[in-house]
Structure 1
Amino acid sequence: MAVNKNALIRYKTIDQCLRNTLKKWTLNDLLVACSDALYEFEGKHSDVSKRTLQLDLQLMRSDKLGYNAPIEVYERKYYRYADPDYSITKLPLKKDDVHLIKEAVAVLKQFKDFSLFSDIQGMIHRIEGSVLGAEDAGKTIIHFDKNEHLKGLAHINTCYQAIKEERVLTIVYQSFKASEAYSRILHPQFLKEYNNRWFLFALEKHRLITLALDRIQEIQLCTSEPYRDAALDPDRYFKNVVGATVHNRRPIRIQFKADAKMSPYIATKPFHSTQRLLHTDETGSIFNIFVIPNFELERLFLGYANHLEILKPERFRQRIAEQLKQAAALYS
């Protein structure tokens, strides 16, 4: 059942009032308390109607939100909890809730050695201790592919905070192609992970560039110029590519055929969100995708070399064919 923010504020306020047994609470008292709480949280007057409050009390008494609050009326006008120790903040968890929390904690623990998530370690331990209990310190069921020893992971926090706080960075960087490292002033925009490798996308002057975090040698804040925001949406920016390399080109339609053995796998794990099945028979299936060709896409196709053939366009087909010839030559 969906509950809006104002309703949650009212439930919490009613709960605080009824837990205060030093005062006798009438319906009008509860109305004033809820209105004051809404003003405190929202910064504007919001009078609560008597009908709204009565519906709140009815809902808190019910099982719709899982409260089952023991709210009773005494002396024909005052409200209280029949159990003075009751509170909606101390509800016992249902068995299904505990299972869901177990799964969530298991996922969070996969990031225990990842610097960006170090602050949640205390929270995880508190959840395990207070909710799950000692008997649940068991085996891992969900495992993520990760490598804590990758170079560059130490830079993630600095980049993340700089993006969040809109700060400029001075980065000493050496690409694989460069003979030596050099310093550059960058305006970080967002981070992206692909295939267990992290990349920083940043503005350098007026162009967006991509830096692999494992090629960064030094990084520090720069205060000599104001931050510029490119106002980019990562989902839109990567819409037409596989991986992290985005070229300033139009996407093209790539058609390929997978053999019968590999077709079901590719059908259930598409290369890209635009993938469509065109034809299938006993020899295999023909698919197409609408993407911008890049290094990562080529590596993806080459990984299925003996199960897949590029059909169109001819230029991309020849590029993959040439790389396959070079690879075969290494074993000739």
Structure 2
Amino acid sequence: MPANRNALIRYRAIDTCLTNRYRKWTLDDLIEKVSEALYEYEGIVKGISRRTIQADIQMMRSDKLGYNAPIVVIGKKYYAYEDPGYSITQIPLTGQDLGRMSAAVEVLRQFKGFSHFEQLNEVVQKLEAHVYSAATNNQSVIDFEKNENLKGLVYLDMLYQAVVQQKPVKIMYQAFQARNPSQFCFQIWWLKEYKNRWFAVGVREKQFEVVNLALDRMQAVQLADEVTYRPNPGIDPDVFYRDVIGVTVSTTMRACRVLIWVALEQAPYVETKPLHASQQVVERRDDGVVIELKVQLNFELEREVLGFGDGMVVLAPARLRHRLEQRLAAATMRYEASQALTVPENE
């Protein structure tokens, strides 16, 4: 990864520390946190020198990057932002920046009526909201779901370029169940976002099963120029995910008919925001509605149903109903077993 991107990771790590005013930060503390960030995002294990961090602090203080960060040293030992509300992520746009963004918004708006550019609508709305907020010095009128602390987003651009340029990558990856990370070559065919979490979708070298790799489990990514790229054989992502909720797809499982009772108070939410494109109301009752889905049975489906608590009950198929009964029973047992650990409420 280019050195300037590593520098941005260092600046962001320092900023994260200094915006946390519940702790005092020495130079050694900053070095430790920056080292952890570089290892987490880039797999870099080489230590960072004091001179590098001191140079980063001077760069952040200067106007070369537009930061002008008010970093002060307290008691000749602790680093902090003099302005408690400052962060490099909250730097206001200049007039020139606003002009450029406004021009970009106007260009993108021209494409919003074309079906090929329907996916630009959200991008245009985000830009419009940001430009409006910056130009009027007001709060944004649109607040999109986001998770700025999500790990792995630093790799998104490289993975995107790997797809566009049809180049394999070498990934250091540690699944949640794995004790140690493993490194392997991966052929990325597309990128998938689900509930604000990103996945690289493709196949491992010499394998044929399509798998999802979560970006937040990646520890290092680099191009594998020595490996020949194996292109997508023609799998359409829209067709690939057609019969599932989420990203977990089985190539051997058929979609089945799922019947779910939805409580009366939850029904308006489920009807206005369907769980899946196949959702239909098949029965209306005094106590709620029964909806039908035609989907594969996977973890994401279970999580969606469980997320409604007692507002949803699976009626069919029996194996899904039994599976959720088991999970709810296990949850009840854990609540009962943890009663001794509960913290009494303040009176």
TM-score, reference length from structure 2: 0.58
Report matched runs for 1:1-80 at 5 Å.
none
Which residue does 2:170 correspond to in 1? 170
Residue 258 of structure 2 is aligned to residue 254 of structure 1: yes
Structure 2 unaligned blocks of 5 or more: 1-105, 114-121, 337-347
Identity of aligned residues (%): 34
Structure 1 unaligned blocks of 5 or more: 1-92, 113-127
Distance 1:152 1:316, change over 3 A: same
Which of 234, 238, 243 lines up with 2:241 in the alignment? 238
Partner secondary structure for residue 310 of structure 2: coil
Quote the offset at 1:195 in angstroms: 1.3
Which residue does 2:273 correspond to in 1? 269
Which residue does 1:209 correspond to in 2? 211
Partner secondary structure for residue 331 of structure 2: helix
CA distances 1:30-64 after superposition (whole Å, capped 9, x unpaired): xxxxxxxxxxxxxxxxxxxxxxxxxxxxxxxxxxx
CA distances 1:153-176 after superposition (whole Å, capped 9, x unpaired): 001011000000000101111101
Residue 136 of structure 2 is aligned to residue 153 of structure 1: no
Which of 274, 296, 303 lines up with 1:299 in the alignment? 303
CA distances 1:167-221 after superposition (whole Å, capped 9, x unpaired): 0101111101111111111111111111121111021122211101011111111
Q: Are the aligned partners of 1:171 and 1:219 in contact in 2 as well (CA < 8 Å)?
A: yes
Partner secondary structure for residue 306 of structure 1: helix
Partner secondary structure for residue 146 of structure 1: coil
Which residue does 1:224 correspond to in 2? 226
Quote the offset at 1:318 in angstroms: 0.3
Quote the offset at 1:133 in angstroms: 11
CA distances 1:283-331 after superposition (whole Å, capped 9, x unpaired): 1101110001111111100011211110001111000111000111112
Which of 300, 318, 323 lines up with 2:322 in the alignment? 318
Which residue does 1:122 correspond to in 2? none
The number of residue pairs the alignment matches comes to 215
Report matched runs for 1:102-121 at 5 Å.
106-108=125-127
Q: Are the aligned partners of 1:200 and 1:211 in contact in 2 as well (CA < 8 Å)?
A: yes
The CA RMSD measured in Å over matched residues stands at 2.5
4+ runs of 1 displaced by more than 6 Å? none
Distance 1:172 1:274, change over 3 A: same
Quote the offset at 1:106 in angstroms: 5.0
Which residue does 2:198 correspond to in 1? 198
